[in-house]
């Protein structure tokens, strides 16, 4: 598949604009004081389905031809991408089948089912989700919309950064850095392309959970590396074993250094978002905020944009975050 370009991001943003929420770019006085920087927060929990994933899913579904629409779509997802594909497909009158791991948060499973999708389960540890999905495609002829390693998905996700760049410019600001929650790398690849094309000089950084910092380590090593087993699974939305093949081709060229944050950092960011920003954020969606709050990314004296990437948190996990 051809890699997307900044122009593809701009075209995707225009294509999906009638269907997605242009989420706000927020600023908080206390956060600026705590970090010493000007922090601009892209609030994707306010997106349809509760995460940025709706952007890439919508861009993908809108480009299906008639035969593909008839055969339906399929994806594999721990929740946010599955919900997004289910919603985008339902809006277009297309059947969707979503393969979800057995340990996916219940709220994400039920939210996906509510959009009318067929849910199939797999074991995250023993099953290869790509093989499971490929077998379904071979049987049915459905179109696979992968969570990140897919040009239309990357281009659609890049609209997050393009909107942030435009809204920052409207405020008379140019972002020095842009921090992105990173799993397989689709969101950050799209954001990096947006920055390359429309905000040269803005450095895009991957932010990952400790033990799942495969993109950061891959950038250092110069090739894709895998995460070792046994790390915390709190940030369920970011648990890719290794960077995507296509996403890493983009990210290796464009990204700045990455940062890894701990579970404690994530819980603190979730509490801050709830108490100060009045936004519910899931663990994986909070890692970029965790990076600036913890000081692991030094924002002092800079204009720093960051993504709160999703708000589909299991109630029990959210309760633990508020009590931590």
pLDDT in tens, 223-242: 999 999 999 999 989 999 99
Angle at 201 between CA 51 and CA 58, to 5 degrees: 25
Q: What's the pLDDT at 129?
A: 80
Q: What's the pLDDT at 235?
A: 96
Pairing of strands 118-122, 38-43: unpaired
Q: What's the pLDDT at 105?
A: 76
Q: Is 245 a catalytic residue?
A: no
Taking all residues of the chain, what is their mean pLDDT, rounded to a whole number?
A: 96
How far, in whole angstroms, is CA 278 from its chain's centroid? 20
Q: What's the pLDDT at 271?
A: 98
Give the burial string for 288-309 (b: 16+ CB within 10 Å, else e): bbbbbbbeebebeebbbbbbbb
Containing 49, the helix (H) or strand (E) segment is none
> pTM for this structure?
0.95
Q: What's the pLDDT at 315?
A: 92
Pairing of strands 25-26, 38-43: antiparallel
Confidence of residue 4 (pLDDT cuts 50, 70, 90): very high
Confidence of residue 109 (pLDDT cuts 50, 70, 90): confident
Question: Whole-angstrom Cα distance, residue 324 to residue 54?
Answer: 31
Question: Whole-angstrom Cα distance, residue 264 to residue 148?
Answer: 27
Mean pLDDT of 260-269: 98
Q: Domains in the chain, please, with CATH? A: 6-52+152-323 (3.40.50.1100), 54-150 (3.40.50.1100)
- Catalytic residue (one of 51, 60, 77, 78): 78
SS (H, E, C) 69-117: HHHCEEEECCCHHHHHHHHHHHHHCCCEEEEEECCCCHHHHHHHHHCCC
Confidence of residue 322 (pLDDT cuts 50, 70, 90): very high
Pairing of strands 203-209, 259-261: parallel
Question: Whole-angstrom Cα distance, residue 204 to residue 216?
Answer: 12
Q: Is 309 a catalytic residue?
A: no
Q: CA separation (Å) from 195 to 5, 17, 166, 261, 315?
A: 11, 19, 11, 24, 35
| E strands, the chain, in order | 25-26, 38-43, 73-76, 96-101, 118-122, 143-144, 177-181, 203-209, 259-261, 303-308
- Catalytic residue (one of 48, 53, 111, 309): 53
Q: What's the pLDDT at 111?
A: 85
Strand, coil or helix: what is 209? Answer: strand
Confidence of residue 84 (pLDDT cuts 50, 70, 90): very high
Cβ 291 vs Cβ 261: under 8 Å: yes
Q: What's the pLDDT at 63?
A: 98
Q: Pick the residue with more confidence: 48 or 101?
A: 48
Question: Whole-angstrom Cα distance, residue 170 to residue 243?
Answer: 34
Question: Whole-angstrom Cα distance, residue 42 to residue 310?
Answer: 10
Angle at 80 between CA 277 and CA 133, to 5 degrees: 165
Q: What's the pLDDT at 37?
A: 98
């Amino acid at each position: 598949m051809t890699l997307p370009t900044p122009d593809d991001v701009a075209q995707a943003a225009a294509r999906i604009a009638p269907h997605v929420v242009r989420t706000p770019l927020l600023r908080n006085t206390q956060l600026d004081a705590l970090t010493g920087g000007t922090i601009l927060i892209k609030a994707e929990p306010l997106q349809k389905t509760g995460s940025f994933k709706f952007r890439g899913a919508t861009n993908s579904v809108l480009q299906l031809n008639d035969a593909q629409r008839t055969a339906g779509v399929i994806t594999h997802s721990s929740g946010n991408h599955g919900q997004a594909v289910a919603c985008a497909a339902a809006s277009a009158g297309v059947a969707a089948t979503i393969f979800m791991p057995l340990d996916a948060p219940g709220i994400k499973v039920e939210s996906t089912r509510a959009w009318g999708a067929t849910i199939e389960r797999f074991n995250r540890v023993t099953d290869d989700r790509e093989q499971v999905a490929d077998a379904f495609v071979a049987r049915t002829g459905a179109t696979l919309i992968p969570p990140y390693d897919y040009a239309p998905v990357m281009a659609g996700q890049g609209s997050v950064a393009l909107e942030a760049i435009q809204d920052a410019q409207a405020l008379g600001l140019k972002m020095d850095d842009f921090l992105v929650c990173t799993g397989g790398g689709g969101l950050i690849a799209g954001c990096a392309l947006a920055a390359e094309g429309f905000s040269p000089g803005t450095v895009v950084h991957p932010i990952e959970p400790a033990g799942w910092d495969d993109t950061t380590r891959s950038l250092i090593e110069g090739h894709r590396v895998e995460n070792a087993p046994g790390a915390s699974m709190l940030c369920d939305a970011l648990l890719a074993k290794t960077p995507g093949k296509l996403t890493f081709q983009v990210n290796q060229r464009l990204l700045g250094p990455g940062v890894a944050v701990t579970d404690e950092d994530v819980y603190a960011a979730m509490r801050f978002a709830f108490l100060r920003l009045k936004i519910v954020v899931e663990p994986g969606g909070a890692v970029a905020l965790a990076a600036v709050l913890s000081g692991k990314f030094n924002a002092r004296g800079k204009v720093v944009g960051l993504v709160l990437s999703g708000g589909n948190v299991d109630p029990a996990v959210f309760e633990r975050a508020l009590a931590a």
